[in-house]
Structure 1
Amino acid sequence: MTAADILKDLKNRKYKPVYLLHGEEPYFIDVVSDYIEHQLLPEHEKGFNQTVLYGKDTEMMTVLNAAKRYPMMADYQVVLVKEAQDLKWGKDDDDKKSINPLQSYLESPLPSTILVFCYKYGKFDKRKKAYKAIEKTGLIFESATLYDNKIPGWIEGYVVDKKYKISSQAANMLAEYLGNDLSKIANELDKLMLNIAEGQEITLKQIQDNIGISKEYNVFELQAALARKDVVKANQIINYFEANPKSNPIVVILANLYSYFSKILQWHYLKDRSQQNVARELGVSPYFVKDYEQAARSYDYGKSMQVISLLREYDLKTKGLDSAATHGELMKELLFKILH
């Protein structure tokens, strides 16, 4: 099930007695747990029937004792365990005669309790008996990290769910600029939508104006200048980056260029270079396929390999390996080698 599927069931009052929300991506875990914490019970029921615990500050027996209580003047009670990755789960006991309180509860949970474990920044051990018990009596949701090429599509879906629109170019720029931190992206989009009428499109200009991306001097424009081998424009952008290092950290620029030239190199391997196949294989919007075709004409297979090698070399130099140059000087050096 996806996070959206779980939310749909919760809104329809289809509850499970135990939820294990685990995985590398905290955003989806937060979305589900926030709904459970703030929307599942009416306000007047929360005082007696909602318990929020934190894994590093509690013990498993405290969790179980809370879960075993019956709701007061309500149909359900909620026990929400945040930071469950810090909770001491105990070891599996192979002695069949011994009684494991956690295992005993998970195998026969109280139907009137909604027990939720939020296990973030890693996967729960699927070999554990607790996992297998929750699998049988409750619901397990794994929140997987999205690959970078899936972020623009996620942005478009998020905006549509909020009843707004966004162009592929704007979604891609946002993804490139903000990276794969879904919570940060959602927060920036929510702030943007406060100033836009429902149903309208979030434009490139609005993103540039409100999120601090320069219209002329950003990593997209640098990539475009490199693709055209426009030396003057590329140097103007690098000079702007050097003058505004906090808004344009070199580590982000290098990561974006590495991703960009990796896709150019991948283009050279493709036998089917139709727009649809290129978009699918490179993980980009069809809108950008022509840009990669132009870049591939400017950088053949050999030059693309050389640029990727240069990017790795200069990434090490930014960390102080065999170089005492400033980040601005390193970027100018790198740019010269890419373009010549």
Structure 2
Amino acid sequence: MANEITYEDIIKGVRNHDYKPVYFLMGEESYYIDKIADFIADTVLKENEKEFNQIIAYGNDVDIATIISTAKRYPMMSDYQVVIIKEFQNVNNIDELSFYLQNPQPTTILVLCYKNGVIDKRKKLTADIQKVGILFDSKKMKDAQIPMFVSSYLKRKSIDIEPKAAELMAEFVGSDLSRLSSELEKLIISLSKNEKRITCDHIERNIGISKDYNNIELRNALIYKDVLKANKIVKYFNDNPKTNPIQLTLSMLFNFYSNLMLAYYAPVKNEQGIAQQLGLKFAWQAKDYLSAMNKYTGVKVMNIISDIRCCDASSKGIGGNSISNGDLLKELVFKILH
């Protein structure tokens, strides 16, 4: 099935010269679409072959007939030609590609980048792509997977990172992997020659996130009902609204307490059982939910989720509420803790 093909599978195949006539790269996560297209553009042809045999165009500038005509050409003084169409979602009548796929040019590597959506997998085009090439669905990464992405990204660069620092980056940047990788590159550049480990101090100095006053620390304070710490963080957020927007905080709180509500329905209420219930990759990621379950009842969590929704609405001006975002968050944290 198409969803079983991973980014790593495709990169490995290209690296081993196991080229396919077509790579249809689609999905909500543009990061992996761009990475695969760039890898093919960088590695398949030698530099002296690219001038005549590598074509990169955009969907707004070409039609399906031109794409097919270009793909049917033979390479010049090269074994392959590479044709990359970016923003392929802007091309009309893409179903006509099926005619080309019945007999694709074996010396052409056609890369189609279809972003911000997927094609209907029930269509004939989907089956035709899978018969001769690669159909890759680049799905948005879940929030719980982002810290692991951070660690893996840095590991490939021979850099280690503290687990808390990885969580901090994930919370601050979110699931935009292109932006996240850019911020990680900034951190790598900031390291001195002999440094091989990124800490929370590095992030505070170079990214502008406080290691003590952030959404992760607020979540931890709420989990353990540390009233003093929670209120200190809320005050810091109120004093620094640009780097601590309330919408980011509310999103974090809503995701956590929504997952906590689901955790109560886990058949086995240990780390392994809750991790399985929530779809977490590692059992240790369920530790915070277990701790919170000892502090909050299911009914209280339902009320908290309702309070977060009301706070979110008020922060957007719904209901004519004139309370500042700082006071809204302070009131919400009070309700959560009491």
What is the rounded CA distance, in whole Å, between the counterparts of 1:60 and 1:316 in structure 2? 45
1:314 aligns with 2:318: no
Out of 221, 228, 233, the position equivalent to 2:224 is 228
Greater CA drift, 267-276 or 212-221: 267-276
- 1:238/1:331 contact within 8 Å kept: yes
1:14 aligns with 2:18: yes
What is the rounded CA distance, in whole Å, between the counterparts of 2:275 and 2:197 in structure 1? 23
The corresponding residue for 2:84 is: 80
* Alignment size in residue pairs: 331
- 2:271/2:290 contact within 8 Å kept: no
Q: Which deviations, in whole Å up to 9, do the C-alpha atoms of 1:56-102 show, x marking residues without a partner?
A: 11111221221122111111111110000001125x6xxxxxxx6x4
Matches within 5 A, 1:206-225: 206-225=202-221
Aligned structure 1 segments of 4 or more residues deviating by more than 3 angstroms: 195-199, 266-271, 278-282, 284-294
Q: Which deviations, in whole Å up to 9, do the C-alpha atoms of 1:158-194 show, x marking residues without a partner?
A: 2323333234333222222221111122222222223
What's the RMSD between the two structures over aligned residues? 2.2
- 2:22/2:134 contact within 8 Å kept: yes
SS in 1 for 2:294: helix
Matches within 5 A, 1:67-216: 67-89=71-93, 102-196=97-191, 200-216=196-212
1:50 aligns with 2:31: no
Out of 274, 282, 305, the position equivalent to 1:278 is 274
TM-score of the aligned structures, taking structure 2 as reference length: 0.90
- Give the gaps of 5 or more residues in structure 2: none
TM-score of the aligned structures, taking structure 1 as reference length: 0.89
- 1:227/1:294 contact within 8 Å kept: yes
- Give the gaps of 5 or more residues in structure 1: 93-99
- 2:270/2:290 contact within 8 Å kept: no
Distance 1:23 1:155, change over 3 A: same
Percent of residue pairs bearing the same amino acid type: 44
What is the rounded CA distance, in whole Å, between the counterparts of 2:290 and 2:39 in structure 1? 45
- 2:267/2:273 contact within 8 Å kept: no
Greater CA drift, 146-155 or 105-114: 146-155
What is the rounded CA distance, in whole Å, between the counterparts of 2:236 and 2:308 in structure 1? 20
Distance 1:39 1:60, change over 3 A: same
What is the rounded CA distance, in whole Å, between the counterparts of 2:297 and 2:128 in structure 1? 55
The corresponding residue for 1:338 is: 336
What is the rounded CA distance, in whole Å, between the counterparts of 2:49 and 2:90 in structure 1? 28
What is the rounded CA distance, in whole Å, between the counterparts of 2:144 and 2:82 in structure 1? 37
- 2:101/2:132 contact within 8 Å kept: yes
Greater CA drift, 9-18 or 197-206: 197-206
